[in-house]
Amino acid sequence: MNSLVNRRLAEEAERSHGRHGAARAYIVTARDGFGSLPSNLLEAWAFREVMLAFASRQVRVKYKQAAIGLAWVVLQPLIATLLFTLVLGKLSHLSSEGAPYLLFALCGMVSWGFFSEGFTAGADSVVADAALLRKVYFPREILPVAAICASLVDLVPSIVLLLIFEIGYGKLPTLQWLALPIVPLVLVMGALAFNLLPAALNVFYRDVRHVLPFLVQIGLFASPVVYSLQEIGQPFRDIFIVINPAACAIDAIRRILLHQEWPELGLTAACLGWSLVLGLVSYYFFKKLERSFADRV
Amino acid sequence: MTTAAITFEGVSKRYRGARTYRSFRDDLAAAFRSRPQRVAVQALEDVSFEIPSGQSIAILGLNGAGKTTALKLLCRIAYPSAGRITVAGRIGALIEVGTGMHPELTGRENVRLYGKIMGLSGRDIQRRFDDIVEFAGVGAAIDRQVKQYSSGMQLRLGFSVAAHLEPEIFVVDEAISVGDAGFQNRCVERMTSLSREGRTLIFVSHDLSAVETLCARALLLRGGRLVADGPAPEVVASYLAEVHAEQSTAQSQRIDGDGLVFDEISVLDEDGNAAAEVLADRPMTVRIRYRASRRIAHPIFTVGLSEGTWRPFVAASMLVDGDTPEAIEGVGTLECEFASLPLNARSYDVWGSVRGEAGFGDIIDWQRLCTFKVRRDTVDPGKGSVVTGGLAPVRLPYRWRTDA
C-alpha cells in the first residue's frame, strides 16, 4: 500500500519537472545519493528562472556605486593589455605571431579575463550565498552556473572592443569570423568544469578561497596570454590545448582574428570532450557534497 | 482516505560537533588523532508524524528542541541522517524573512529576485507586484535601494513576497514575531485565509496566541523527540508547563541591561512575603531589586502579566501614568502593587522592560522576568468558573440577561 502511494508520488514528482521552481512532490531519505543524471539536470532546468535571477543580480550589483559603471567591463582587459604591451611587448622579445603585440595580448586577455572571472566567481558563489543556503531550497549548482552567466555579460562588450581594435589595425572581417562563437563555448564549458568542485569544497574548507588568487595567477602564466603557443614544442602543445580550455580558446581566437584561419577542430573537440568529462565527474561530487552544504556552510 | 501532505517516518538528524569553522589543517590533524574530538549533536531523534492535506499545525518546543531542524529537513535545505520524509505538494517556506534581499538593489529589483528564488514565476510576480508592495506598506520607497530601508521595512517586504506565494504547503518559522502590531495582524489574517483556502500550514512560533488562532493541532518537541501531538490548546498547555518549569529553576537569574541590572525579581503576596503562589482577588506586588551602574534620568519601567506570550493582558507602564522616578543610580528597589488579581487559577508570567527618558532607547528589553501561580480558594460552582477557567485568564463580574 505504502509503496503504491510512494510510486504515485514519484510519478507526480517526475511530471512536475519543467514547471518553475520546486517540484510538487518529493521523498527525502537518509540514503539519497546522486540519483540519476537526467533527473538532476531536469531539476536544474526547472530552476532556470532562479538561475537567471541570480545572474542578473550579480550583473546589477557588480557595478552599482561605481562612477563609470559598465565602462569597467572594457577598461579592465584594456588596461591589463596596455600594461603587458608596455612591459612585455617592448622590453622582452616575446613572439606575437607576427601580429601587433597589443592585438595579440588583447585576444589573450579577453578570453582569460572571462575564464578566470567565471572560475573565481563560481568557486566563491556557494559560500557567498550562505544565508540563502540555510533558508531556501534550490539545486545548488545553479549558483556557479549563474556566476558564469553573469561573466558572459562582460564577455560580449570586451569582444566588441577586441573587434574594434581588429578593424582599427586594418584587419577587416573574414569568413572565419563565423567560427567566433566556438570561443565562448569552449570557455563556458571549461569554466564550468573547473569551478564546480572548488565551489563545493569551499563550503567545507575556506582554505579554497585563499588558494584561488594563486590558482588564477598560475593560470595566467599557464595560458598563452602574453606568449605564443607556437613557442611550445610538440606534443606538449597539443596536450596543453586539450587540457587547458583557456589555451584552446586563446589559440582559436588568435587563429581567427590574427591569421584568418579556422580553429583546429580536432583539438577543440578534444578539449570540449575533456571539459565534459571533467564537468560530469565534478558534478557528481558536487551533488554528493551538496546534501551537507546547509549543515556546514 | 485523506491524503497526507507531509509524512515523517522515523526521522533523525545528527549534526557533527558544534564547531563552526574547520580548515583543511584541522582535518589533517584529526586524521592523526586516534579519538574523534567532536561530539555529534542529535537534533532530531526518531520523529514520526503525518499531516493531512489542508491541516494547520504548529510545532512547539523550547529553543534547541529541533523545530527549525524539522522545517529544514522538510524543505530539503538539510537532509536527515535516518528516516524518510514524504512531501506531496508544492512547498513554500518562510524561514526568517529578509534573507536573499540584496542591500545594493532597489526594492523593486529585490521583489523580482526574491520572488523567483522563493518560487514565483516572472509572470506571477508581474501580476502580484502591486499587491506585494501594498501589503509591505513601503510605498514609493520601492524604487530606493534596500540598504536605505529600515530593518522593519526590509522584513515587511521580505514577508510580503513570501505571503504572496501560493504554495500548497506553507511553512512559517518565527516570521510574524517581527514588525509592528498592524503588520502582524495582517500576517495572521493572510495565513488564516491561506488555511481557509485549504492549504496546509506548518507554523513555528513562540507567539502562542497566534498559534492558537491559526492551528487546530500542535506538536511538541523536546530534545529532538516528539513528546506530544494533539489539539493545540492541550499541547500549548504542556508547552507552557515546560516553559514555567524551566523558568522556576532559573528564577533568580539576573537580568542584564544597558547600565542597569535586575538582581532579584520577586512576587510578594498581600503580607509582603515573597511567594511562588499568590491568592486570587487579593493584592499582589512585583518587587525588583536593581543596580544602576550609571545615573539614569526618568527611567520608564513597564511591568506586565501574561499567559506566557510576549503580549501581556495587563500592563503597568510609567510611559502611560508618568510616575517615573527623577533618576536612579546605584542599588535600589522598585515595587509595583496590583490592588487585586481577578485571575483564574494557573501559572502566569511577569514581563518587564525599562526604557530611557521619554521612552527612547531600550535599557532592558521587554522580556520575561519571573513566573508565579495564582491560587483560588473559593470555587463558586454557580458561575461555572471551573470550566471557563480554562478559557480566559481574567475574570470580570458579569450577569446574563435574557428575555426568555
The pLDDT tens digits for A48-92 are: 988 998 999 888 888 776 767 778 878 888 888 888 888 877 777
- Among candidates B81, B87, B121 on the partner chain, residue whose Cβ is nearest the Cβ of A20: B121
| Best residue of B8, B27, B46, B87 to probe chain A, by most A CBs closer than 10 Å | B87
**Phi/psi at A284 (5° precision):** -60, -50
Q: Which three cell numbers stand for residue A86?
A: 608596455
B105 contacts on A by Cβ (under 8 Å)? 57, 60-61, 64
User: Residue A102 has what pLDDT?
Assistant: 86
Residue B383 lies in a domain: no
B398 touches A at CB < 8 Å: no
| Cβ-based neighbours of A266, under 8 Å, separated by 6 or more | none
- Which of A93-119 are b and which e, b meaning 16 or more Cβ less than 10 Å from the residue's Cβ? eeebeebbbbbbbbbbbbbbbbbbbbb
Do B87 and B232 belong to one domain? yes
Do B75 and B172 belong to one domain? yes
Q: Do B76 and A137 touch (CB under 8 A)?
A: yes
Q: How far is A186 from chain B (nearest CA, A)?
A: 29
Annotate B186-244 with DSSP letters as a single string.
HHHHHHHHHHHTT-EEEEE-S-HHHHHHH-SEEEEEETTEEEEEEEHHHHHHHHHHHHH
Q: Is the pLDDT of residue A137 over 90?
A: no
CATH number at residue B233: 3.40.50.300
Q: How far apart are CA B306 and CA B329, in angstroms?
A: 29
User: Residue A183 has what pLDDT?
Assistant: 93
Domain boundary among B186, B211, B245: B245
Domain boundary among B214, B245, B276: B245
User: Residue B237 has what pLDDT?
Assistant: 84
Do B239 and B347 belong to one domain? no
Do B356 and B259 belong to one domain? yes
Q: Is the pLDDT of residue A28 over 90?
A: no
At B208, the pLDDT band (50, 70, 90 cuts) reads: confident
Q: How far apart are CA A149 and CA A52, in angstroms?
A: 8
- Give the helix ranges, DSSP H, for B226-313: 232-249
Do B203 and B337 belong to one domain? no
**B80 residue type, one letter:** P
ipTM of the complex: 0.77
User: Residue B20 has what pLDDT?
Assistant: 46
| Cβ-based neighbours of A159, under 8 Å, separated by 6 or more | A110, A180
At A16, the pLDDT band (50, 70, 90 cuts) reads: very low
Q: How far apart are CA A147 and CA B175, in angstroms?
A: 30
Q: Count how many residues are written for chain B.
A: 404
Task: State what percent of residues in chain B have pLDDT above 70.
Answer: 84
Number of CB atoms found within 10 A of residue B393's CB: 16
Across residues B163-169, what is the average pLDDT? 82
Q: How far apart are CA B315 and CA B304, in angstroms?
A: 4
Number of CB atoms found within 10 A of residue B340's CB: 11
Q: Which three cell numbers stand for residue B64?
A: 534547541
Across residues A249-277, what is the average pLDDT? 93
Domain boundary among B199, B224, B245: B245
**Using one digit for the tens of pLDDT, what is the confidence trace for B300-316?**
999 999 887 788 999 99
User: Residue A15 has what pLDDT?
Assistant: 45
B102 touches A at CB < 8 Å: yes
Across residues B114-118, what is the average pLDDT? 83
A11-20, B314-323, B327-336: least confident range: A11-20
Do B90 and B200 belong to one domain? yes
A59, closest residue in chain B (CA to CA): B105
Across residues B38-66, what is the average pLDDT? 87
A105-119, A137-151, B169-183, B286-300: least confident range: B169-183
A207 contacts on B by Cβ (under 8 Å)? 23-25
CATH number at residue B330: 2.70.50.60
Q: Which three cell numbers stand for residue B251?
A: 528564577
Residue B159 lies in a domain: yes
Do B238 and B269 belong to one domain? no
User: Residue B303 has what pLDDT?
Assistant: 94
Across residues B144-157, what is the average pLDDT? 83
Q: Is the pLDDT of residue B22 over 80?
A: no
**Using one digit for the tens of pLDDT, what is the confidence trace for A207-261?**
888 899 999 999 988 888 888 888 888 888 889 889 999 999 999 999 999 888 8
A216-225, B79-88, B242-251: least confident range: B242-251
B74, closest residue in chain A (CA to CA): A28
**What domain range is B205 assigned to?**
4-17+36-245
Compute the mean pLDDT over every residue in chain B, rounded to the nearest whole number. Answer: 82
Do B72 and B206 belong to one domain? yes
Residue B393 lies in a domain: no
- Among candidates A16, A32, A61 on the partner chain, residue whose Cβ is nearest the Cβ of B79: A32
Going from the C-alpha of A89 to that of each of A92, A164, A256, B135, the distances in angstroms are 6, 20, 21, 61
Q: Is the pLDDT of residue A146 over 90?
A: yes
Do B42 and B187 belong to one domain? yes
A146-150, B87-91, B379-383: least confident range: B379-383
**Phi/psi at A75 (5° precision):** -70, -35
Q: How far is B105 from chain A (nearest CA, A)?
A: 7
Q: How far apart are CA A117 and CA A123, in angstroms?
A: 10
Residue B327 lies in a domain: yes
Q: How far apart are CA B66 and CA B35, in angstroms?
A: 28
A4 touches B at CB < 8 Å: no
Do B224 and B365 belong to one domain? no
Across residues B337-343, what is the average pLDDT? 91
Q: Do A29 and B85 touch (CB under 8 A)?
A: yes
Annotate B319-387 with DSSP letters as a single string.
HHH----SEEEEEEEEEEEES---B-SSEEEEEEEEE-GGG-SEEEEEEEEEEEEEE-----GGGTHHH
As beta bridge partners, residue B277 has B373
Residue B313 lies in a domain: yes
Q: Do A205 and B93 touch (CB under 8 A)?
A: no
At B392, the pLDDT band (50, 70, 90 cuts) reads: confident
Do B232 and B320 belong to one domain? no
Across residues B336-359, what is the average pLDDT? 86
Residue B112 lies in a domain: yes
Do B232 and B266 belong to one domain? no
Number of structural domains found in chain B = 2
